Structure 1
């Protein structure tokens, strides 16, 4: 690295940390997830408002690859946390309701997104036409499990029936969305030799039947954090490197390493590892990802066609998620209020959507313009959750639902 690159890298990191922290705190004061403010920080520093000249001066071209590298590490650590926090008990505990709501909340937006892709491809030609259609359907189907969990916690809804069902459905949605994205990566070639994809099942078998038992043995002993943390970091990075090499993208490796992380008898250790890694990641690396993602958003030249495409994307994303989840919930005899609250929560996309969009941009599934439109959709669908929940599921209703859960059940 040259002196110029080092100076601007450190300067940019300082700007990113301060601005992301400030706008994230402002978003929380406005009853929004911090991710909204952090993404807007990236958009503000991008070419949309001040033009490419300002952005290029603050974030020189020769410095951006280093920022992108740090952003990738942040995404890998985040995906490990998503996998580690995915409670498999949730997937077993809700039965028919979770399966039908999850299925409908993916099937309808996927169908609408795929249909919309057939129109959008006319203005945004893509050599991987099938991959483009599947990718847009998958992008419409996402629910951000971590952001949703934070919303439920902030609104004290985690212990309610609606909150529990929403977490379950979001977990299933995330798993299915990652599977759909894996298919898109395979169809697009992923930048690797196609024969390497055949190693995917081998990698999965090694993770389940070799790595997971080894991790159980390693963490069964009472080891200090100075030993545990390096093992976890090295493991998630090696797993991400393996999936990137075989053509599946590093996010899948990091996620699966988190998913096989031992749970039985290691609750305190797992929470400590996630807390330490999460603090540094949320303070520096993820804000870098938000800024890098925002710098690629350029809405300065949006015209009538762009506005129409944005409206169509919002209708497909919001209508598909809300309509699918609401209809399935009502068919399972949930009240109109509970079904509407559940459908609103399922529309939360947040950081998970941004990661998928970044992968799509990297694979060539999205051009710069359509990427910008999809980022706006991710921000809007995440920001609308708070105001709608205040109308549909106010604090007084939350208190009543919590009391129902706490009340002793009558004897059989």
Structure 2
């Protein structure tokens, strides 16, 4: 690293932190989660607002280092998402949660594939089938962390509706990531190293048969979170991420799987401490870097055709997710008002969507224009959740004490508290 690169890297990190804090505060004052402001801040750091100035502030020689930091942040984020999965959310409502999750995947996925057929002539992807499947998958996402934050803000996390929403989002996450794994496999077919995917089965066998029992034994001997224990989890998550990246499946799956494999029995306090100690740093520094890196590729200089495509993308994304969740909830005789609220909550996409879109960009399934439109969709569908819940008649009660919050909600609460 040259002196020029080191100097600008440090300056850019300081600028990103400042931008993240300012935009996060503004978002909160507007009644939105801080992450919405951070995403918008990342977009503003790109060519949409700054044009050529963006390259001056964030030189091309420095961007690879920022991208590396962003990838580490995403890997840790996916590890935490896997760690947050909890089968106890399904108790007493597994049937309806599974139905809502599956329906809210199938309908937007189907509509997304139809939309992709319309978009394909204007956006030539490197792999046509991969493009169709990817657009369907991108329409099917629900962001678990943002949903948890919205529930916490409105005091719903301990209600039946809140528990159901968390359960649906958890199942949705697993289904959506599995679907994305299929897309990556299809889009990457024909490469010289595709045989490495055959190692996926042995990899899963090692993770389930060896790594998980070792983790259970390690946790049973732990009396609290220590630097050594935390390092063990990070080492495992990064090694797992490296393994899936080497096999051609993308590093985010390995990080996610390692977090999901950590035993749940009697580890609630340790997992809470892991989330709280990790999320503060990751959410303060590394994820804002990811938002800016994602914003480098967003250019909202749209033509009339681009505006038409944006409208179609929003219609498909919103109606597909809302319709799938609402219909399944009503079939299970959930009251209309609660069905509407559940459908609104399932429409939040947030950071999870941005990660998937970046994967699509890296695979050559999205061009810059379509990527930009999909990023706008992610922001709009997340930002509209709060206002729509108020329109549905939900007033915001006083949140419960922090000790009563679920782990994911505490993590996002701690992060948002830093924004003001």
- Aligned partners of 1:308 and 1:231: how far apart in 2? 49
Give the equivalent residue in structure 2 for 1:81: 80
Q: Do 2:155 and 2:397's aligned partners in 1 also have CA atoms closer than 8 Å? A: no
Spell out the pairing of 1:92-171 with structure 2 (5 A cutoff). Answer: 92-171=91-170
Cα distance, 1:272 vs structure 2: 1.1
Aligned residues: 397
- Aligned partners of 2:172 and 2:198: how far apart in 1? 25
CA RMSD of aligned residues (A): 1.5
Spell out the pairing of 1:224-243 with structure 2 (5 A cutoff). Answer: 225-243=226-244
1:208 and 2:208 matched: yes
Q: Please report the TM-score for the alignment, with normalisation by the length of structure 1.
A: 0.94
CA-to-partner distance for each residue in 1:325-378, whole Å, 9 max, x for gaps? 111111211121111100000000001000000111011111111000000000
- Aligned partners of 2:154 and 2:397: how far apart in 1? 11
Give the equivalent residue in structure 1 for 2:187: 188
Change beyond 3 A, Cα 1:88–1:123: same
CA-to-partner distance for each residue in 1:26-61, whole Å, 9 max, x for gaps? 21121111111001111111111221x100000000
- Aligned partners of 1:23 and 1:206: how far apart in 2? 43
Q: Do 2:81 and 2:259's aligned partners in 1 also have CA atoms closer than 8 Å? A: yes
Give the equivalent residue in structure 2 for 1:406: none
- Aligned partners of 1:96 and 1:398: how far apart in 2? 31
In structure 1, stretches of 5+ residues that fail to align are: 400-412
Cα distance, 1:3 vs structure 2: 0.5
Q: Do 2:154 and 2:396's aligned partners in 1 also have CA atoms closer than 8 Å? A: no
- Aligned partners of 1:99 and 1:279: how far apart in 2? 32
- Aligned partners of 2:379 and 2:83: how far apart in 1? 25
Give the equivalent residue in structure 2 for 1:356: 356
Q: Do 1:77 and 1:254's aligned partners in 2 also have CA atoms closer than 8 Å? A: yes
1:175 and 2:174 matched: yes
SS of the residue corresponding to residue 249 of structure 2 reads: coil
Give the equivalent residue in structure 1 for 2:25: 25
- Aligned partners of 1:49 and 1:222: how far apart in 2? 50
Cα distance, 1:91 vs structure 2: 3.5
Give the equivalent residue in structure 1 for 2:304: 304
Change beyond 3 A, Cα 1:76–1:48: same
- Aligned partners of 1:182 and 1:78: how far apart in 2? 18
CA-to-partner distance for each residue in 1:128-182, whole Å, 9 max, x for gaps? 1111101000000000011101110111011122111111111111111001100
Cα distance, 1:192 vs structure 2: 6.7
SS of the residue corresponding to residue 111 of structure 1 reads: helix
In structure 2, stretches of 5+ residues that fail to align are: 400-420
SS of the residue corresponding to residue 395 of structure 1 reads: coil
Change beyond 3 A, Cα 1:122–1:42: same
SS of the residue corresponding to residue 366 of structure 2 reads: coil
CA-to-partner distance for each residue in 1:359-405, whole Å, 9 max, x for gaps? 11011111111000000000000000000011214227999xxxxxx
Q: Please report the TM-score for the alignment, with normalisation by the length of structure 2.
A: 0.92
- Aligned partners of 2:126 and 2:6: how far apart in 1? 38
Q: Do 2:165 and 2:342's aligned partners in 1 also have CA atoms closer than 8 Å? A: yes
CA-to-partner distance for each residue in 1:192-245, whole Å, 9 max, x for gaps? 711000111111111111100001111211356121111111111000000000
Change beyond 3 A, Cα 1:396–1:154: closer
Q: Do 2:86 and 2:264's aligned partners in 1 also have CA atoms closer than 8 Å? A: no
SS of the residue corresponding to residue 31 of structure 1 reads: coil
